[in-house]
Structure 1
Amino acid sequence: MPQFLIAIHRPLDYDPLLAEDAAMTQEITDLNQAMRAAGIIVFVGGLNAPASARSIQIQANGEARVTPGLYLNSSEYVGGFWVVETPDLDDAISWGKKAAVACRAAVEVRPFHSRK
């Protein structure tokens, strides 16, 4: 069965302590439980704040250089994600819509390369 990434995007100034209330936390918990009941979750996880990120880039001399922060300069970042196995993109999108509502955020749904 195909696998899909469902990624939650947050603005750089997002503060979960201010933005996430008990209702939102419960909706995300309910969504996780629904996905588990449907048997589609491969992996789910929330990510720490962008300040905790480390980026690694290969230099001209072949060395890997580690720098603090996100790799891409953007006004948003991936705050968490699910990897799901669903029959098709339409089904993954339906779960992505539920994730957008529960997380009150923009969501990206993207298929993984085929494992054939």
Structure 2
Amino acid sequence: MTQYLLSLPHDSAEEPTMATMDPAELEAAMAAAGAFIDELTASGAFVFAGGLMPPSTATTVDNTGEELRTVSGPFVEAPEYLGGFWVIEVADEATAVEWAAKASRALSSRVEVRALQEAPSGD
């Protein structure tokens, strides 16, 4: 079984959070996400999920040089950012894409599918 990241992109021009969303829209989004997670859990595919705060709340840490540097803000500025994700464990990419299609439909959002790297077997 392989683990896959199903990620939700957000437009960088907007930085929605649960605190700033319209309460009715938030309730609908939470219900849709909850139903999707319930279905993932029932199937045995659910590993974990999370929603991320916007990039403007990030701190970038660089301890690769002579001294520690911290900078307020994201490491990369981009037109879109990762807003939330699920990690699932399924047999193959086709199954991961099927789950992503369900997530996309439930949350009216595009969903990116990427496999997590696995260590070489060493055989």
| Greater radius of gyration (CA) | 2
Tell me if the contact between 1:8 and 1:103 (Cα under 8 Å) persists in the aligned partners: no
Taking a change above 3 Å as real, the CA distance of residues 35 and 98 of structure 1, as seen in their structure-2 partners, is same
Uncovered stretches (5+) of structure 1, i.e. residues with no partner = none
Taking a change above 3 Å as real, the CA distance of residues 91 and 22 of structure 1, as seen in their structure-2 partners, is same
Shift of 1:68: 1.2
CA displacement 1:79-106 (0-9 Å, x = unmatched): 1111110000000011111112222222
Map of 2:92 onto structure 1: 88
Q: Which contiguous aligned blocks of 4+ residues in structure 1 show a shift greater than 4 angstroms?
A: none
C-alpha distance in 2 between matches for 1:110 and 1:64: 32
Alignment of 1:1-116 (within 5 A): 1-12=1-12, 13-16=14-17, 17-18=21-22, 20-58=25-63, 61-115=65-119, 116=121
CA displacement 1:97-116 (0-9 Å, x = unmatched): 11122222221110011243
Moved more, 97-106 or 76-85: 97-106
Shift of 1:6: 0.5
Shift of 1:24: 2.6
Tell me if the contact between 1:56 and 1:65 (Cα under 8 Å) persists in the aligned partners: yes
Please give the TM-score of this superposition, normalised by the length of structure 1.
0.86
CA displacement 1:49-104 (0-9 Å, x = unmatched): 22221112355x34342211121111111111111100000000111111122222
Taking a change above 3 Å as real, the CA distance of residues 105 and 14 of structure 1, as seen in their structure-2 partners, is farther
SS at match of 1:15: coil
What is the CA RMSD across the aligned residues, in angstroms? 1.9
SS at match of 1:91: helix
Uncovered stretches (5+) of structure 2, i.e. residues with no partner = none
